[in-house]
Structure 1
């Protein structure tokens, strides 16, 4: 029997009117599902960021557009996979701010999600993920968006960036932004705090996963300077 034949029996979770970031709770629930079982998510736009997160947990998916503002995504767990990124699970700090766009218009949210998918999940990208995250970090700094830059740093560490690479990046930030800008803007920022913590823990011999856990604790969604409100 094809697993699609079982989907009518999947538990349905409708998040169209969910307030706040439902993703962490949903992923915890998904992680508890056994192989050979599934779950269905209902959203007002196609929830593309969920696909990679669920795939990393061992789920396949099938998407149906049930209406103009109703997408039903059926996830079926075929295996329990080892996490791809440091710290376990899918890449951290998903772009949950996309949910803000559906407060304006569901079609706008759908456009934004698909643009995000084009940028970050394109087939056979010429630039590897780690480098793209560092470029996005630098762009965030240049635009004065330290919240974005800090989130990209956390994701880049998860994707395998090294301390040596971060050292060179921050040297370039001093070069391009100037000493004054670095001293008054970058130095006091959560971005630089996260970088200093990585260096300190790495020099103390801590593992990448240990550093990742501490980054998420201190520079993840619990930090008001890093959290993106939905």
Structure 2
């Protein structure tokens, strides 16, 4: 792994994208630019708050980053491509929907991004990441947010949660939500279809890596029941 010291002399050559005043969802255009950036080159992003969701998204396709807060209070983030990895679909879901909040209000965007980072990345968190994903899954079901629940299930499996643990989760969902709700809302959902795919393919002898690939192909960001972009 490289460090900022290894490539800091190149940042003057980076393409600059100032997203402070951009309207609409700028991420697809930014992702296209990032994918077309060769190894050894980079992109400079200017934003009014620290764009935590971008770190994970661009890391997934081979970038590392360096962030500085300038005197104006804005953040300048330098993304440098150390390895070319084109398929973002191979990585677990990224919180790209958070990039929508600055469209409503810049301060709200900053609060939301920082809150997400505190919730999921802060070193003070005690519960294992996989446990927090499962708690988030069940809370999402309770709130009727099947889209979020589907994403949390897939991330949990990708991060190593055993399918037997998912069995327990769905048994508890049936108990707590009721048979009627489970039958009419959970059963037909993308959440349960993803679970069924895992169980079926395990019985068929598929490896975890093969099942992960199937999950991202069928229930990735291109699936309208799962995508939040």
TM-score interval w.r.t. the shorter chain? 0.7 to 0.9
Match for residue 41 of structure 1?
45
SS of equivalent to 1:46: coil
- 2:31 pairs, out of 26, 31, 37, with 26
C-alpha deviation, 1:52, in angstroms: 3.7
Match for residue 9 of structure 2?
5
- CA–CA distance in structure 2, aligned partners of residues 217 and 24 of structure 1: 22
C-alpha distance after superposition, 1:147-206 (max 9, x if no partner): 110111111122111111111111111111121221121111111111101111121122
Which stretches of structure 1, 4 residues or longer, exceed 6 Å deviation after superposition? none
Match for residue 141 of structure 2?
141
Q: Are 1:154 and 2:154 matched, yes or no? A: yes
User: Greater relative contact order: 1 or 2 (C-alpha under 8 angstroms, separation 6 or more)?
Assistant: 1
- 1:63 pairs, out of 68, 71, 74, with 68
Match for residue 192 of structure 2?
192
C-alpha distance after superposition, 1:61-117 (max 9, x if no partner): 23334645x42201235x5499xxxx744xx22122212211111111001100000
Q: Residues 67 and 75 of structure 2 are in contact (CA less than 8 Å); yes or no, is this contact kept in structure 1?
A: no
* Unpaired runs of at least 5, structure 2: none
Q: Residues 186 and 192 of structure 2 are in contact (CA less than 8 Å); yes or no, is this contact kept in structure 1?
A: yes
Q: Residues 21 and 96 of structure 1 are in contact (CA less than 8 Å); yes or no, is this contact kept in structure 2?
A: no
- CA–CA distance in structure 1, aligned partners of residues 41 and 154 of structure 2: 32
TM-score (norm: length of structure 1): 0.82
Q: How many residues align?
A: 220
* Unpaired runs of at least 5, structure 1: none
C-alpha change, 1:228 and 1:178, in structure 2 (3 Å) is same
RMSD: 2.7
C-alpha deviation, 1:207, in angstroms: 2.2
